Structure 1
Amino acid sequence: MRGKTGWRREVEVGRGSSDATCPVIAVETWIQFAKLAKGLLFRRVTGEGKDVGPDRLNDKEVAGLVKSAALAAGVRDDLSEGERALKFSGHSLRASLASSAEVDECRPEQLGHASAEMTRKYQRRRERFRINLTKASGL
């Protein structure tokens, strides 16, 4: 995976408190469904959601998926659909995880940051305590 700070071959993800919301189990299930042996992990789904193509998802496709999921889940239903669509993106996932986990400081590699200072910029609340990010966010 190539980010602003260079190539990363590994991304650290903690196990969730429930199989239904655990990101590790979700990725393992995806790998099995997509029949992936090597190469890109996040790929385009084609054929009405039945086939996994060879091409990677791009940032616009990820943003579209996040927007669709937020709208379908009724997140911020106090806003109009148009206003909600403007508030959610792939970036929202990282910022929300950093904020909802309520930790003093997490290891920056958990969110793909080069430094703890950058991770702190993503945190929107100030009262934090040290716990696993994935479990702390309710997953």
Structure 2
Amino acid sequence: MKKSDMQEKANGSAPSRPVDEGVSDPGDWRDQMLARIRMLIRQADPDVVEEVKWRKPSNAMRGVPVWSHDGMICTGETYKNVVKMTFVKGASLEDPAHLFNSSLEGNTRRAIDFHEGDRIDEKALKALIRAAVALNTSRAG
């Protein structure tokens, strides 16, 4: 990572800025849940890269927050009744706490659907994020 990129990241600018804008308003429970998830991702992997992709009218041009470290780790999307955290390589991850509860039929990805009032198992979620990073970094070399 270039020094300028590291400075931008430390200052919360560059790729993180659109994510900041997308989850900075307290909004409703979905925005609060996504902000909480984002904080846990950043705690689990301080070197994570955040950006927003796939801006389109169907998501009010907000786009989809994406977190990466030597490849994509996960995305965070808000829907009417759920906040969906999708792990791109989730099918390859151990999930001893059984957090994955959505997109279970696929061969590659797995997701966690958070509903209003759900509590996050922070320790298990951070472990899952770290496992996703470890999977990415093991394949990057």
- Structure with bigger strand share is 2
TM-score, normalisation: structure 1: 0.29
Higher RCO, Cα 8 Å, sep 6+: 1
Larger radius of gyration: 1
TM-score, normalisation: structure 2: 0.28
